[in-house]
Amino acid sequence: MSFLHFAKCAAFLLAASMASSLQAQDVALTSRDGSVSVSGNFLGFDGEFYRVDTEYGVLTLDGSGVNCDGPGCPDLNSFYPIIRFSGDGAVSASLLPALVSAFAARYGYNTEVSMTPTEYRVVLTDSVAGQPEAQIDFVHTSTEEGFADLVSENTDIVVSSREANTFEKELARIAGIGDLSDPVRARVMGLDAIVPIVSPSNPLSTISLENLEKLLTGTFQNWSEVGGQDAPVSLFLNEAIVESGSPLLELLPALTVESLATGATILPTAQAAVEAAEGDPYGFAFGRLSTVGKVKILGLTGECGFRTDVVSADVKTEDYPLTQPLFLYTPARRLPQIARDFLDYVLSPAAQIVVARSPFVDQSIEELTFRDHGRRFANAIRHAGEEIALDDLQAIVDGLYGARRLSLGFRFKGGTALLDAQSRSNVQLLARLVEAGVYDGKQLVFAGFSDGQGPAAANERLSERRAAAVRNSVLAALGEAADPELFQTVVRGFGEAMPLACDDVAWGRSLNRRVEIWVKDGFTDTLSRESSAP
């Protein structure tokens, strides 16, 4: 463990131990008849319920049944909730303010905005009376600091560009915040991606994963070693790029803070690294798709010849390996009603239109035609192994011809059968659309694929089981309003017959283990109606 990481961990633990004292103000809550009274440190009031840290633990009490006495008690005549977001600066400075503005317009609030370099504040007021209804503060920190603020009761919602890591989940559990691995605690509001970037004058257009790792570790220090011009590489990296939970570390598991090239310049933010590379003709950095500006984005290639470029559809399906879901993490406690309304809104189709108009990638579902996948089918034919026969390739064409692929990807955590965070969010997205009748009269084909490790027959069976598991998760997420007689689901397992990436590296195998959703018009009479049941 590096000294920097140790220091951050120590600060995190200190924050957790101080959680009950940072906002400590004594209050006493007494029942209306005076028969019951509790006292302790006031933690919050959402307009309906008090939260107090007492000798019995943290209690949540209905404000309508108690009288509050003490310096921490709110003025009920002028009360309005203050909702605090802390975390990823790029998201909290641009996307979230746009979403709050759209939310306010939709629900009839006026807005009063004030800004500082580190905070964006919006006061929502009643459009008729002009009285404040809520104050929303977006604090521009970082994902790591956002989780520290949550543990220390200094924020209500974390803005995160990655999943909570094991350490953060444990601290949250100790602090009574709840289980951050619970899907209910994390909402995916949009998507971003980490992209390798160079100066526009650099002649390269792609870089292999092997060469990428050698640049980052300093094994290669000249562009000519990766097919470029004879010039030294200037490496600019930001601190978060090798932080625990970063997609880059999952892509290149051998990469660590200690193995980074000694000549690399470490900068505090991704934007600073991008700007440094943009101003250096020999610069190399990782940026975020949402903030790359005028630099050149390199495509990623594998040793076996596959290539992937960053386009919105591939980010949505996770076919691009460095996709970054953007999360809102909430504690396992009651939030004010207006905060709950906003959290519901960010997942709505109306909110996704706002995301689509921003530099980030929205989660609205696209339908990709069979023709759009020409390169994928060409790769399937080109890289078919000895166990893949013409019949296997024809089975894919027969099963999917005339269908449209949805831009919803389903992938699994490494070494497990558990869906990753973006996939869990996609389950809910698809379930809501099915329940709304979007796919009435249509057939949803859950198509499973595997990597090429092991016998082809076993992989085909495994891919079918995974496809069935995703289908069952979607059906289980449907509300009572859904009528299973109005749509049809079909499960198919195609095994290793259509890889997206090289099987000789871990990240390629991870991309190949997936479930896709394809839509066909009409029902298939020859299929049993039992295929619509979980």
Q: What is the CATH number of the domain that holds 264?
A: 3.40.190.10
Residue 474 sits in the same domain as residue 410: yes
Q: What is the domain extent for residue 514?
A: 365-532
* Within a domain: 91: no
Are 147 and 13 contacting, i.e. CB atoms less than 8 angstroms apart?
Answer: no
Residue 389 sits in the same domain as residue 493: yes
Residue 370 sits in the same domain as residue 509: yes
Residue 297 sits in the same domain as residue 196: yes
Neighbours of 385 (CB within 10 A): 11
Residue 370 sits in the same domain as residue 303: no
- Per-residue pLDDT of 58-89, as tens digits, reads 888 888 889 999 888 888 877 889 999 999 99
* Within a domain: 114: no
* Within a domain: 46: no
* pLDDT at res. 259: 76
| Closest to 385 in 3D by CA, of 318, 314, 459, 461 | 459
Residue that wins the pLDDT comparison between 224 and 153:
224
Does residue 19 register a pLDDT over 50? no
* Within a domain: 125: no
Spatial distance between the Cα atoms of 176 and 366, rounded to a whole number of angstroms: 40
* Within a domain: 319: no
Residue 239 sits in the same domain as residue 371: no
| 417 DSSP 8-state letter | S
Spatial distance between the Cα atoms of 342 and 505, rounded to a whole number of angstroms: 41
Residue 307 sits in the same domain as residue 390: no
**Looking at 312, 327, 357, which one is the last position of a domain?**
312
- Per-residue pLDDT of 511-527, as tens digits, reads 888 999 999 998 875 44
Does residue 155 register a pLDDT over 70? yes
- Per-residue pLDDT of 436-485, as tens digits, reads 899 999 999 999 988 888 888 888 899 999 999 999 999 999 987 788 88
pLDDT band of residue 244 (cuts 50, 70, 90) is low
Are 53 and 40 contacting, i.e. CB atoms less than 8 angstroms apart?
Answer: yes
- Per-residue pLDDT of 259-293, as tens digits, reads 777 888 888 888 888 889 988 999 999 989 998 87
Residue 200 sits in the same domain as residue 278: yes
Out of 18-27, 39-48, 78-87, 217-226, which region has the weakest mean confidence (pLDDT)?
A: 18-27
Residue 285 sits in the same domain as residue 380: no
* Within a domain: 391: yes
Q: How many independent structural domains does the chain possess?
A: 2
Q: What is the CATH number of the domain that holds 421?
A: 3.30.1330.60
Residue 394 sits in the same domain as residue 524: yes
* pLDDT at res. 418: 80
Spatial distance between the Cα atoms of 103 and 136, rounded to a whole number of angstroms: 12
- Tokens representing 408? 């919803």
Residue 402 sits in the same domain as residue 523: yes
**Looking at 270, 292, 312, which one is the last position of a domain?**
312
Neighbours of 34 (CB within 10 A): 8
- Per-residue pLDDT of 248-268, as tens digits, reads 777 776 777 777 778 888 888
Does residue 532 register a pLDDT over 90? no
| Closest to 373 in 3D by CA, of 402, 338, 341 | 402
| H-state helical runs in 383-493 | 390-400, 421-435, 456-476
**Looking at 284, 312, 340, which one is the last position of a domain?**
312
pLDDT band of residue 385 (cuts 50, 70, 90) is low
Average pLDDT, the chain: 84
How large is the average pLDDT for residues 25-33?
A: 88
Burial of 286 (0-12, 13-18, 19+ CB in 10 A): buried
* Within a domain: 472: yes
Residue 278 sits in the same domain as residue 372: no
- Per-residue pLDDT of 306-353, as tens digits, reads 778 888 888 988 888 888 899 999 999 889 999 999 999 998 889 999
* Within a domain: 127: no
Residue located via tokens 């562009």: 223
